[in-house]
Amino acid sequence: MPPLIGTSWKMNLTSSEAEAWLRSFVPLVHGFVGRELFVLPPFPAIWVARRELADTAVAWGAQDVHPEDRGAHTGDVSAEMLADLGCTFVEMGHSERRSAHGETDALVGAKVGTALRWGLTPIVCIGEPRRVSLLAARSACGRRLAGALGGLSGPELDRIVVAYEPAWAIGAGSTAAPIEHIGAMHASIRRWLAAHGSTASRIIYGGSIDTGNAGAILATMGVDGLFVGRAALDPRAFAEIARTGADTHGLGTSALASDATTETER
């Protein structure tokens, strides 16, 4: 599969700001091949993403979903609503949701089931909450996987993206996990998925990705893509990160030079 490179804007960018971001970003990645791109705006801006990205190769989605299809759930958003907006991906289980809203693995698992039922691709975030030994990190992530995904079949797991995001590598002032740690954790996650019947699940890394480290992380064995946070609030930085991925996976330098020249001439 092509590398999967996306971003969650978290609680940033109004609908008007999202429009400006998307109109800046889309020309920068026009014609890119060999990778899959997505953006996850806040709920109020999803309709803007649908309008601006409908005729592009860039997918859009949401940062959360309610486990029920309908009902008296004030302030929540259902998978049906997201599907109606043309969403492809939906994120769940982020460490900020777990810490700020008390979300459990069981709740994440319920959200996964709902997303799959409506044809959405769940992006399931897992990661150890603090810096610990590799053995402890593997154990923590194994528990997360079992709690959220343990009841799924192999074909169901193949429809899921696992985002490895150690909580200690997320947020302002943090730094990305060391390459060796990322590689070891992705290998551990892949072994768990394979043991439960998956042959095609994708595992992407998130946590303090920027233009300086994206290439090395994406080139790490077992890393199927990148889940970019605050660096992607600058559309040009996110395009550069996407371009790094394209370079790593064989996009010709002439194509990149052409894109750069076009942008310079604007």
- Supply the residues annotated as catalytic: 94, 165
SS3 content of the chain, % helix, strand, coil (to 5): 50, 15, 40
CA dihedral of 65, 18, 215, 178, whole degrees rounded to 10: -50
Rounded CA-CA distance 33/117 in Å is 29
Rounded CA-CA distance 66/78 in Å is 5
Rounded CA-CA distance 259/31 in Å is 8
Q: Computed from CA positions of residues 160, 47, 11, 74, in that sequence, does the dihedral angle turn out positive or negative?
A: negative
Give, for 258, the enclosing helix (H) or strand (E): helix 253-265
Question: Which structure tokens are listed for 200?
Answer: 């095609």
Q: Which residues contact 4 (CB under 8 A, 6 or more apart)?
A: 35, 36, 38, 161, 202, 204, 224, 225, 226
Q: Computed from CA positions of residues 50, 52, 56, 59, in that sequence, does the dihedral angle turn out positive or negative?
A: negative
Reported in sequence order, the residue ranges of 53-177 that DSSP labels E, i.e. its strands, are: 58-62, 89-92, 121-126, 161-164
Rounded CA-CA distance 14/4 in Å is 25
Rounded CA-CA distance 117/242 in Å is 30
